[in-house]
A = this chain, B = another copy of it.
Amino acid sequence: MGHPLDAAALDTIFRTARTYNGYHETPFTRDDAEAVYELMKMGPTSANQSPARLVWCLDQAAKDRLADCASDSNADKIRKAPAALVIGMDEDFHEQLPWLFPHTDAKSWFEGDPEGRRTSALRNSSLQGAYFIIAARALGWDTGPMSGFDADKVDAAFFGDQPKVKVNFISTIGKGDASTIFDRSPRPEFDRFNRIA
């Protein structure tokens, strides 16, 4: 049980944080990627599955390779961003469970169930994608998560040697340029999408 965050911290991770379309020139390095990962990996996944497989595009050649897989408007954002991230998911994550969840035979829960593995990989790598967004914000970075890309192209370009890893979503990252954000889309009030049972 932790101490509640102060108002500035709540702003940083949720209330005034935004999705950015462009960034200042501050670079994002491998050390920064490691710091974000060291935080995000602490977030929980079911049976510690940790199915996310991350590919960081830090130099221009890597960003261009990802941009070539994206829709036109997203390609431009990726080329110009300090860095980008491909969040993949390992549909054979269960092979790792003997060491990730060592106190029981969790691997056997998923053997012979490729459809259940796909669902679980999507669910839990999405949790990890959200932890990435929040961890980056918590360290003073901004992100621009995107779904507008050709998944087959991304898989071929970044996971060609790992046929059981598929892209979930992608994101830019850097120090956000406030002139590039759109107005925030409306957020539903409590009674719209919540019920008390």
Contacts and interface: CB of A to CB of B under 8 A. Distances in A.
A72 to B, nearest CB: 15
B1 A186 contact: no
Nearest to A39: B14
B56 A42 contact: no
A112 interface: no
Interface residues of A, number: 87
Contact of A142 (B1, B17, B37): B1
Contacts of A101: 185
Contacts of A44: 19, 133, 145
A130 B129 CA distance: 9
Given A13-B13, A133-B44, A4 B139 contact: yes
